[in-house]
Amino acid sequence: MSDPDRFIPIIRPVLDEREADAARRPILTGWVTQGPEVAAFEREFAEWVGARHACAVSNCTAALHLALLAVGVKSADEVITVSHSYVATANSIRYCGAIPVFVDIDPDTSNMDPTRIESVITERTRAILCVHQVGMPCDLARISKIAERHNLPIVEDAACAIGSEILWRDQWEKIGRPHGTLACFSFHPRKLLTTGDGGMLTTSDAEVDSRLRMWRQHGMSVPDTVRHESRQVIFETYPMLGYNYRMTDIQAAVGREQLKRLPEIIQRRRDLAARYKQQLSEIPGVTPPQEPDWARSNFQSYCLRLPAECDQRAVMQSMLDAGVATRRGVMCAHREPAYAAGVWSCGVAPGVCDCPPGQCVRLSESECAQDQTILLPLFHTMTEADQDRVVSALRDGVSGGGRSR
């Protein structure tokens, strides 16, 4: 049963004594930075998603940065992506000195609309950075065909998509295999698998994987583990500019336990999502997330669209007053102060948009999704009674103060 006075959060990580015991291992050995636990986590993660190589880093933003460097993105290049994503997606492009070129989304999936890509490809385009938004796979099959025609690499922002699947050449495959050049994952507490924070890159290219491993550790030619185990003195060199993007062994030990839980976590979230969909059919005008027949989401978040006449903030406040947390729809980077004119493009010209500040007619679906969608609570230990309270609060919010426009 659900306590009617208990606050229902947006997410609650799945952690218990198993993760606590796992963290003890590196703590008691004294090797707490990147070491044997990280190496084991990388092997197990690669096997789980079906990738040849996996490289652990400090967070997904670091992963995205390194992935773009690995495919050759440099200053003044253009990278095609979506504004409708957490700001880290676009930020990683700017870290390389490149220009994010935003294309609009498909309103049914809230993912990159493949039909809009080719119109913004120029001689400056260096890569396509697609996003599996809130765990819903994007249309990689169509995006890949476009990338092949123009000889462009694909980087997958799979921050939310661990365990999501795509029908690829008539077989179901996990996101992260990868289906582009690299895929990047997040282990933030909002994700299904958490290490407190952390990230992972997967690739099929051994040379790319080797570069990633040097970049994450200041460009050092010899890993700490090799120096530690050597019976001869080794002097390392630094042949390239690198970064401090390492994961700790404490985090990796927790991640290994989390990986064991994933099948159960994913199935539980899919069951809860199916129940939400059935219940929401009784609230007029509310649109649940649309799962294409070629995609299986892990439902990292449950993102629904409110009726057009509803005020998003009013609905969310009504639900918060009822003890139910929500979050607004996924943000749009181009509407943020950090993305003033000159640092991004919508395809008009490099770094140019001729629309009023905070608006773009070429990104209207992205803006609509931010303004008309909300995320409902969804977590492993959520009960049916909890869900009933969420749906009841949503119904009251939509039918009451939410229609204040």
DSSP string, 125-187: EEEEEEE-GGG----HHHHHHHHHHTT--EEEE-TT-TT-EEEETTEEEETTS-SSSEEEEE-
Answer yes or no: do 165 and 87 share one domain. Answer: yes
Find the domain containing 35 and state its range.
Answer: 17-261
Q: Does pLDDT of 404 surpass 50? A: no
pLDDT of residue 183: 98
Nearest Cα to 290, choosing from 124, 99, 35, 107?
A: 107
What pairs with residue 8 in β-bridges? 324
User: Per-residue pLDDT averaged across 14-38, rounded?
Assistant: 96
Answer yes or no: do 137 and 21 share one domain. Answer: yes
Compute the distance between CA of residue 365 and CA of residue 175 in angstroms, rounded to an integer: 25
Which CATH number fits the domain that encloses residue 288?
Answer: 3.90.1150.10
Residue 403's pLDDT band (cuts 50, 70, 90): low
Q: Does pLDDT of 82 surpass 90? A: yes
pLDDT of residue 146: 98
Mean of pLDDT over the chain: 95
**Which residues lie below 8 Å from residue 309, measured CB to CB, with a gap of 6+?**
285, 403, 405
**Percent over 70 (pLDDT), the chain:** 97
CA atoms within 13 A on the CB side of 359: 3
- Total count of domains within the chain: 2
Residue 2's pLDDT band (cuts 50, 70, 90): low
pLDDT of residue 305: 97
pLDDT tens digit sequence for 246-260: 999 999 999 999 999
**Which residues lie below 8 Å from residue 246, measured CB to CB, with a gap of 6+?**
33, 34, 38, 57, 58, 216, 217
pLDDT tens digit sequence for 122-175: 999 999 999 999 999 999 999 999 999 999 999 999 999 999 999 999 999 999
Which CATH number fits the domain that encloses residue 49?
Answer: 3.40.640.10
Q: Does pLDDT of 5 surpass 80? A: no
> How far, rounded to the nearest angstrom, does the alpha carbon of residue 248 sit from its chain's CA centroid?
21
Answer yes or no: do 228 and 281 share one domain. Answer: no
pLDDT tens digit sequence for 329-373: 999 999 999 998 889 999 887 667 778 877 899 999 999 999 999
pLDDT of residue 405: 42
Q: Does pLDDT of 81 surpass 70? A: yes
Query: Is 187 among the domain residues?
Result: yes
pTM of the model: 0.95
Answer yes or no: do 100 and 208 share one domain. Answer: yes
Answer yes or no: do 365 and 239 share one domain. Answer: no
